[in-house]
Amino acid sequence: MPFKSLLQGMLDQLPGAVGAIIADWEGEAVDQVARMDDFEIKVLGAHKGIILTQLREALQRLDGGALEEVLIHFEQGTVLITPLSEDYFLVLAVEPQVMVGKATFVMRRCAERLRLEIA
């Protein structure tokens, strides 16, 4: 199944989801869907890739194990990040009213399917 259709399915399950992007370890977009400007979702992916890399490095220094998920909650919404492999990650952006638990659940299911496609 193509990445775009998996991402679109995730957004369709979450009213209030504004965008999702798969990016590589350098923050380059692999595929994305958005209810926001395409440039903005690509910038979001690149920026969150930097955060993901820094958190992975910090966990390595602390022998904290592998990073599984990152949740960033701010006034305009929430961003969830999960690695798909060593080289790829998924970012999901949602509006503030979206229930974080539901967004996390839907993102995890999508990530499982994306991992199968990447492998």
The confidence band for 119, taking pLDDT boundaries of 50, 70 and 90, is: confident
> Structure tokens of 52?
């993901």
pLDDT of residue 1: 54
Angle at 48 between CA 89 and CA 113, to 5 degrees: 20
**CA–CA dist 109, 74 (Å, integer):** 24
Q: Where would I find the beta strands (DSSP E) of the chain?
A: 17-24, 29-34, 70-74, 77-83, 88-94
The architecture (CATH level 2) of 3-118 comes to 2-Layer Sandwich (3.30)
Section 57-66 average pLDDT? 88
This prediction has a pTM of 0.92
**CA–CA dist 93, 83 (Å, integer):** 15
pLDDT of residue 52: 87
pLDDT over threshold 90, residue 60: no
Number of Cβ within 10 Å of residue 101's Cβ equals: 8
Section 91-112 average pLDDT? 97
In degrees and rounded to multiples of 5, residue 11 shows phi and psi of: -65, -40
Section 4-29 average pLDDT? 95
Show me where the domains of the chain are located: 3-118
The confidence band for 66, taking pLDDT boundaries of 50, 70 and 90, is: confident
pLDDT over threshold 90, residue 88: yes
The confidence band for 39, taking pLDDT boundaries of 50, 70 and 90, is: very high
**CA–CA dist 49, 26 (Å, integer):** 7
